[in-house]
Amino acid sequence: MKTGNLEIKEKAALAPLAGVADRAFRELCRGYGAAYTVCEMASAKGISLGDKKSAELLSITPTERPAGSQIFGNSPETMAIAAKKALEYNPDFIDINMGCPAPKVASSGGGALLMKDPVLAADIVKAVAKVSTVPVTVKMRSGWDDNNINAVELAKRCEDAGASAITVHGRTKVQMYAPPVNTDIIRQVKQAVSIPVIGNGDVVDGISAARLMEETGCDMVMVGRGALGRPWVFSQINAYLDHEVIIPDPPVVERMRVMLKHIEVLCKYKGERIGIREARKHAAWYTKGIYGAANYRARIGLINSIEELQQIALELIEQNR
């Protein structure tokens, strides 16, 4: 897929998962073949005011590239200022969030709320594209609710305003993450625009990725929740799309090795106090589906050191020999 002057080789990208897709996770997923990664969304208002947290969210390391910065907001002027500041971190592209369903984001006028105002949404894309030296992309949903499915209209407006690619999550804002995924709207967007379209929603393996691409004609897929505790999902998707080979999930010993490696890097970047606190949710995801893991959930939720997590990993490995 080519968007602007950026060429993407693989077919599955990592979604900008807030509170999850930090540098440590993005690097790990790229190592497993993610086509590109997107930073956690950062507030345009926060960026424009010099917020330190926003600066951290925009940081990109060489091993996670190609990678984009994602910003959200409801003011074309503020979004343009934020885009300029984001460019200081050398992203490969800038993504505009028009799909986040979180009440906190929508109540601020950003995220999925922009789908209610396609004219303002297009003005934001135009303002960002005007100042950006890299491609500008947009991530949206199918619409606000079942009575307002307007992804096609919004996508066309965004393309006209200067967007280089569109990601469509086939659910409405009101729907959040409940089934089903509306693949028909993704197909309609793909047919309505000439820029690349990335399909998003319930991609968890090679078969589901291939199905979404076949049903919609989208150029790529984006993986969100399907990558939680499963960064190897990208190698599985690539193997199936390239050779129709099904790679099973790795054995418990490998899953635990990857988990510990992930947490070690996480602690390196954020410090052990914050890293271990965030490790609790990651460890719960990594151990999901492992025989006997349910008995360790309480311990995982209380870990205070990487040594405690290592001990749990060793016990799970021994239990599953």
Catalytic positions are 100
Residue 84 CA to residue 93 CA, distance in Å, equals 12
- Cβ atoms 12, 223 nearer than 8 A: yes
- Cβ 45 vs Cβ 243: under 8 Å: no
Backbone angles phi and psi of 12, in degrees to 5: -130, 125
* CA angle 213–217–218, rounded 5-degree value: 70
- Among 143, 233, 214, smallest CA distance to 222 is for 233
Positive or negative torsion for Cα 248, 199, 29, 244: positive
> Please, are residues 3 and 11 in contact by the beta-carbon 8 Å criterion?
no
